[in-house]
Structure 1
Amino acid sequence: MSTQQMSQQEMERLIAQYDKESAVRQLSGPMKWITFVLLVLFSVYQLVSTLFLTLPPQIHRPIHLAFGLGLVYLLYAGRSKGQADGKVGIVNIILSIVAVLVSLYWVFDYDGLVLRTGNYTTFDLVIGGAAILLVLEAARRVVGLPITIIAAFFLLYTYFGPYMPGFLEHRGNDVSRIIGHSFYTLEGILGTPLGVSSTFIFLFILFGAFLEKTGVGEYFNDLALVIAGRRIGGPAKVAVFSSALQGTISGSSVANVVTSGAFTIPMMKRLGYRSEFAAAVEASSSTGGQIMPPIMGAAAFLMAEFINVPYMEIAKSAALPAILFFTGIWIMTHFEAKRLGLRGLTPEELPNKKEVLKKLYLLLPILVIIVVLMMGVSAERSAIIGIASTIVVSAFRKETRLSLADILEAFASGARTALGVVAATACAGIIVGMVTLTGIGLKLANGLIDLAGGILLLTLFFTMIASLILGMGTPTTANYIITSTIAAPALIQMGVPDIAAHMFTFYFGIIADITPPVALAAFAAAGIAKSKPIQTGVESTRLSIAAFMAPYIFVLSPQLLLIDTTFWESVWVLITSTLGMIGVGAGLIGFWMSKLNPLERILAVAGGVLAVMPGLATDLSGFALLALVFGLSYFRGRKENQQIQIAS
């Protein structure tokens, strides 16, 4: 199908502009092939270690860190000017080698370090200090300055504890203890976040890279067109459906926006949607890809480890809120199309249905992942089975068959994508280590509860604000690690189930990507649509109202997360929440069966919110208001249609 799609170089430039993790050097010559081989070896090591090796975490995690840091210094420039020249430079080569040697210090002297626990030599401390600095600089290059500043602040806080005001005061720690705790325990750089990066996250990123190699990303667009293209306002619904699918192979909101948005945004604009609205639909839908099971954002794997439950439990709990999120966006795009009188796409504008359905087999690896996870297979093994099934499934037809070169490129692509997670989790590990060393986590949790006066809704509100602010400068993974360490315990203290408390912080860490003033996914979409960035962010926030409401719903009514509930209770919660979202969507757009006046819009939103809130009384009150607004809108619409028919 012919569309005014962006060129590959334009897409890469836009992704690099708004997604720092994607801003890699475009190398040439020998260094290009050296880094390619190292990336492939990184992936091969991860597969071999999962399948055949049983290494202690003090060996496996440093090797993972060595690959990650070494490649970061080769592929990411220290300054933005150096990103474009494609040259590594001697300083970066030295930093890369030093980072590898420092990371592997655990491997070189494992027995000695275990024996010297808590009594480290001067050389040990020099190596540990260098590791901290190298991790901070790597995080600055890949993830951005904000997370580096936060980690540095926690290091300083740990040292200057006696001089802190009020409840923040603590006894303080000397430099040797800070370094020892940060690098020579499993509570700092080598802690749980990096541990999850070195197992679940890397393998699922690699699975996504293999899926992408089969052309499944483009196929998602074609499948979405066949399913939703002919409906009212078709391209917007295509964007919603396609982005939900793209989320299974992309862990980045910005990359998701550019990949599918280059295709859907021009279509929406041609059909008649405003630039800001078209960009917002894509930004909102793409951001929601990270909360869409079965393969969610990287932070979901961390959540499974933190809560100590199988990943499938996290995916199962996230299913209904994800459905609610995408339903909300779908509803609002529908009402906007009805309000503007927009049509669907014509058959000539759609791909051939038979040809699209012939490639339905490309989705089999995702189905395989779901089945093996439900069978109780570990997440690591499930990912490897998914990778193997992708290679097998790709062989069904010549145009999708993966050659040896394709497999090697998938290895390299997956490892390259994982570098941002390695840097983020290692740096976040420093923060977590300092939190555990000082005990500040419990103090901040208690302080949050005191600030909210012990009121759950206020505590939730403050947690939301903290997650959104952190999300302005840190990726979802690091954002979740920080907020789950500090804010989630406060919610758990107030009786919120563990999964609900952690899912709450996870959701708002993701939604930060479309929340002004720093809404990177919305800004990337605005770059494609040529719309106003801040206005696009505001529009994205409006469209994502379900994502702002769902976390409050599942904290107050854990049935939405399938916690301690029956099937029918969950169905009831989903039905009432969906009806509520219809009312909220109609009120915000200003259209239902006909145009709504201001009072009807207020009543529709109020009725929707009441229907969404748990409780029989609120449900019935919400239904009554929604029925009233629907009736008024319906009969007005019929009257207007009759008048049009008479006039014609």
Structure 2
Amino acid sequence: MMKSLVSTGRKRKFAALPHKTLIIIAALFALGVIYGNLFVISDPLIIGILFLSGLFSMLFLVIGSRANAAERPTIIDWGLSALSLATGAFFLWNADVISSRITLLEELTPLQFFFGSSLLFLSLEATRRTTGAGLTVVVLGFMAYNLFGHLLPPPFGHGLIEYSYLLDALIFTTDGVFGVPIQVVASYVFLFVLFGTLLSFAGGGDFFFNLAAALTGKSPGGPAKVAVISSGMYGTISGSPVSDVVATGSITIPIMKRLGYSARFAGAVEVAASTGGSAMPPIMGSAAFILAEYTGFAYREVVYAAIIPAILYYLGVFSQVHLRAVKRDLRAYPDDIPTLKQTVINGWMFVVPVAVIVLVLSLGYSPTMTAGLGAASVVVAAACSPRTRMSLWRVVEGLGETTLRILPVAGACAAAGLVIGGLSMTGLGMKAANVIM
């Protein structure tokens, strides 16, 4: 039962030519997002429409409907992808009319009703494929409360909300699907993920791993400590626990198991260490950007507030690893780790992009501009050495991979927008607060 709630769709692996085609399309999409964020001032509704429909058109082809889905997209997948593009085209073509209409007073036209319902269905299906049935059920529960809450007694009951009214608020305003979560992902999050992806593609992940190994690899439980420190360092450039596990865990877990550490212990250390990556400044998870947007605080203030808790978290994980290593006499890292001097000489250029991010952020620039300058500094810094210099195709791969990494986030944020939009219609948040008081 629990497995079915958290099970997500299968992420497909395409053959060489289809994969290259997908990367090129995803890279062009990334360039469009970069251009729209750094050089164009657009209506938030238009940004959300283009971003979400573009991602959905790729999502249904890349992520299957089930964990055991076919390796190739099915007719249904192609149909959902085509419907995503058609929905995006309709909303973009009618953006002026949609943005100027009076919500809940002007009746939806048949085409608006059809494409609005289509986008609602696409958002729910994207949520199910990327996050599992659990979150989808939660969203459906909130929607059911919106539609049938008028049947409940006080204090949780509310006035009658027809489906057309719910659709109007959730789809045709910036309070629902195109609300703050998607707006944040389409701007701050996307560009910061681009920064982390390019830095990883240039070899930054290996540098931070070697740096952690040189610092703690020879002490008791060295590989586990390397997992903690390297995950924390990688978290500063990725902000994603999943990519953190993939980048550092693929190295640390096999080494820990080879030296006699249990598979459970090795996996637990890596998961605990990588989870903190989303709270490690300066590149934090999407929740930090949403928090800054909702509270009105500058993003750098959120970063400053997170520094001490993040350090304390990793200090706690590191202490647990050290105490267990001493108690169980866990072996240190093998002898083939690079020295600290060698690591710094080979990878000093990877410190530059992180320093650029910290400097630009502290000078008061917007998070969007900070991430854009940081991503550009990665390409420039990597070009300082023939070993790290990225070719044009490598940069294209980095752009495309950024888009693909955003796909699961888009599904979750679309779901969040549906919940937030529904809450604003019914006032459930205030009612719950009053009941608690």
Report the Cα distance in structure 2 between the residues aligned to 1:183 and 1:170, rounded to whole angstroms: 21
Q: How does 1:480-495 map to 2 (within 5 A)?
A: none
Report the Cα distance in structure 1 between the residues aligned to 2:427 and 2:361, rounded to whole angstroms: 36
- Alpha-carbon deviations, 1:115-153, whole Å to 9, x = none? 432312222122111110111111111221112111111
Q: CA deviation at 1:218?
A: 1.8
What's 1:214 paired with? Answer: 202
Task: Report the TM-score when normalising by structure 1.
Answer: 0.63
What's 1:425 paired with? Answer: 413
Amino acid aligned to 1:46:
V
Q: CA deviation at 1:93?
A: 1.7
Note if 1:77 corresponds to 2:64: yes
Q: How does 1:566-645 map to 2 (within 5 A)?
A: none
Give the % identical residues.
34
Report the Cα distance in structure 1 between the residues aligned to 2:250 and 2:285, rounded to whole angstroms: 22
Report the Cα distance in structure 1 between the residues aligned to 2:429 and 2:53, rounded to whole angstroms: 29
Counterpart among 143, 165, 182 of residue 177 in structure 1 = 165
Q: CA deviation at 1:329?
A: 1.2
What's 1:47 paired with? Answer: 34
**CA 77–277 in structure 1, closer or farther in 2 if over 3 Å, else same:** closer
Q: CA deviation at 1:249?
A: 3.6
**CA 175–385 in structure 1, closer or farther in 2 if over 3 Å, else same:** same
Q: CA deviation at 1:191?
A: 0.7
Task: Report the TM-score when normalising by structure 2.
Answer: 0.93
Q: Is the 8 A contact 2:99 2:173 kept in 1?
A: no
What's 1:88 paired with? Answer: 73
Report the Cα distance in structure 2 between the residues aligned to 1:75 and 1:278, rounded to whole angstroms: 30
Greater RCO, 1 or 2 (C-alpha within 8 Å, sep 6+) = 2
Report the Cα distance in structure 2 between the residues aligned to 1:20 and 1:227, rounded to whole angstroms: 38
Q: Give 1 or 2 for the bigger CA radius of gyration.
A: 1
**Partner of 2:244: helix, strand, or coil?**
helix
**CA 36–168 in structure 1, closer or farther in 2 if over 3 Å, else same:** same
What's 2:175 paired with? Answer: 187
Note if 1:244 corresponds to 2:229: no
Report the Cα distance in structure 1 between the residues aligned to 2:158 and 2:298, rounded to whole angstroms: 36
Amino acid aligned to 1:96:
S
Amino acid aligned to 2:11:
V
**CA 229–29 in structure 1, closer or farther in 2 if over 3 Å, else same:** closer
What's 2:383 paired with? Answer: 395
Counterpart among 293, 305, 328 of residue 317 in structure 1 = 305
What do you get for the CA RMSD once the two structures are aligned? 2.0
Note if 1:105 corresponds to 2:90: yes
Report the Cα distance in structure 2 between the residues aligned to 1:339 and 1:113, rounded to whole angstroms: 65
Report the Cα distance in structure 1 between the residues aligned to 2:410 and 2:265, rounded to whole angstroms: 35
Report the Cα distance in structure 1 between the residues aligned to 2:330 and 2:216, rounded to whole angstroms: 14
Q: How does 1:495-574 map to 2 (within 5 A)?
A: none
- Alpha-carbon deviations, 1:276-306, whole Å to 9, x = none? 3332222111111111111111111111101
- Alpha-carbon deviations, 1:397-434, whole Å to 9, x = none? 11110100000000000000011111211121011000
What's 1:3 paired with? Answer: none
**CA 19–313 in structure 1, closer or farther in 2 if over 3 Å, else same:** farther
**CA 33–90 in structure 1, closer or farther in 2 if over 3 Å, else same:** farther
Report the Cα distance in structure 2 between the residues aligned to 1:19 and 1:240, rounded to whole angstroms: 27
- Alpha-carbon deviations, 1:263-282, whole Å to 9, x = none? 22343345554443332222
Counterpart among 256, 280, 294 of residue 306 in structure 1 = 294
Q: Is the 8 A contact 2:184 2:286 kept in 1?
A: no
- Alpha-carbon deviations, 1:536-583, whole Å to 9, x = none? xxxxxxxxxxxxxxxxxxxxxxxxxxxxxxxxxxxxxxxxxxxxxxxx
Counterpart among 229, 232, 236 of residue 220 in structure 2 = 232
Report the Cα distance in structure 1 between the residues aligned to 2:370 and 2:100, rounded to whole angstroms: 37
Q: How does 1:278-357 map to 2 (within 5 A)?
A: 278-342=266-330, 344-345=332-333, 348-357=335-344
Q: Is the 8 A contact 2:221 2:325 kept in 1?
A: yes
Where does structure 1 differ by over 6 angstroms across 4 or more consecutive aligned residues? Answer: none
Unmatched 5+ stretches in structure 1: 1-17, 451-648
Note if 1:117 corresponds to 2:129: no
What's 2:152 paired with? Answer: 164
Q: Is the 8 A contact 1:135 1:426 kept in 2?
A: yes
**CA 58–104 in structure 1, closer or farther in 2 if over 3 Å, else same:** farther
